[in-house]
C-alpha cells in the first residue's frame, strides 16, 4: 500500500512548547477529519528509552563526560522501535505527530563536538538511523524557536515526567550554554534542510500566545496535507 499519511516532527530546545503545540495541532487536524496519532520520544518506559532517561539524569556522567557518539545509540535504537509503528500508521493514512525524533540528536548531540567533527557526526547519524536501522524519514520538521532563557523557565514548571522528579531539570535542561548551542544548531539545520521550517515563538524577549504560534504551524502543515494526502478531507 502506498504511503498516504504524513509524518511531522516537533523540535526545539528544551522548554520550547513542543508538547503544547503538538496537542493543539492534533486537535485541529482531528476537527478537519484526519486520523491522528501522537508520539513522544524518547519512550522512557521502553528498554532503550530507559537508558536515555538514565543518561539524562546524569547516571553515566555529566554532559561533557559522555561521548555523543555513544549516547546517540540508545536514542536511535528507541526510535527504531517506534519507527515500525510510524510506518504502519502512515500506510493507514494517519497524520503522525511526534515530539522529538532522530532530529533531536542532530540538534543536541552534534553541538557537543568540535566544529570540525559536527559534519562527520551528522553524516554518520543519517546513515546509522535512516539506512542501518531503517528509521522512517520525516516529511516535515517544525522547529519551535524559543530563546533558551525563556525555555529554561518553562522547564522548571514541568510536571508528570517519568525519568526525573517534578521541577527537576535533566543534564541538558539545566545547562544554558548547551541550550544556546542547540538552538544555534537547529537554526543552521533549518537553513540547510528543505523539509525543516522555523517558527518564531517569541518577540522582544516574550513568548507569543500559544494560539498565535499554532496558527503559524497550521499554515506550514496544511499545504503538505493538501499535497500528500489528497484522498483525505480538507476544509
Q: Which CATH superfamily groups domain 7-18+36-88+96-220?
A: P-loop containing nucleotide triphosphate hydrolases (3.40.50.300)
Q: Please state, in angstroms and rounded to a whole number, the distance separating the CA atoms of residues 34 and 12.
A: 25
* pTM tops 0.75: yes
Nearest to 207 by CA among 153, 141, 140, 156: 153
Is residue 173 within 8 A of residue 38, CB to CB? The reply is no
Other C-beta atoms lying within 10 Å of the C-beta of residue 176: 13
Of 121-130, 184-193, 221-230, where does mean pLDDT reach its minimum?
221-230
Q: Which residues contact 2 (CB under 8 A, 6 or more apart)?
A: 91
Q: Per-residue pLDDT tens for 140-181?
A: 999 999 988 887 677 666 666 677 666 678 788 888 899 999
Q: Please state, in angstroms and rounded to a whole number, the distance separating the CA atoms of residues 98 and 135.
A: 13
The domain limits of the chain are 7-18+36-88+96-220
Residue 235 scores a pLDDT above 60: no
Amino acid at each position: 500500500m502506498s504511503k498516504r499519511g504524513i509524518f511531522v516532527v516537533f523540535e526545539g530546545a528544551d522548554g520550547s512548547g513542543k508538547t503544547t503545540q503538538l496537542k493543539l495541532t492534533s486537535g485541529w487536524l482531528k476537527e478537519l477529519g484526519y486520523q491522528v496519532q501522537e508520539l513522544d520520544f524518547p519512550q522512557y518506559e521502553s528498554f532503550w528509552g530507559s537508558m536515555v532517561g538514565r543518561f539524562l539524569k546524569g547516571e553515566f556522567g555529566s554532559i561533557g563526560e559522555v561521548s555523543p557518539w555513544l549516547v546517540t545509540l540508545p536514542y536511535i535504537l528507541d526510535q527504531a522501535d517506534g519507527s515500525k509503528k510510524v510506518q504502519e500508521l502512515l500506510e493507514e493514512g494517519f497524520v503522525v505527530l511526534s515530539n522529538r525524533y532522530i532530529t533531536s540528536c542532530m540538534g543536541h548531540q552534534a553541538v557537543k563536538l568540535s566544529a570540525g567533527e559536527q559534519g562527520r557526526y551528522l553524516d554518520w547519524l543519517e546513515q546509522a538511523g535512516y539506512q542501518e536501522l531503517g528509521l522512517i524519514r520525516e516529511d516535515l520538521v517544525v522547529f519551535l524557536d524559543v530563546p533558551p532563557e525563556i525555555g529554561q523557565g518553562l522547564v522548571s514548571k514541568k510536571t508528570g515526567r517519568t525519568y526525573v522528579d517534578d521541577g527537576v531539570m535533566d543534564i541538558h535542561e539545566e545547562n544554558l550554554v548547551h541550550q544556546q548551542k542547540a538552538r544555534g544548531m537547529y537554526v543552521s539545520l533549518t537553513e540547510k534542510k528543505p523539509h525543516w521550517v522555523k517558527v518564531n515563538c517569541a518577540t522582544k524577549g516574550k513568548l507569543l500566545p500559544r494560539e498565535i504560534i499554532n496558527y503559524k504551524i497550521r499554515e506550514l502543515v496544511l499545504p503538505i496535507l493538501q499535497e500528500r494526502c489528497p484522498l483525505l478531507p480538507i476544509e
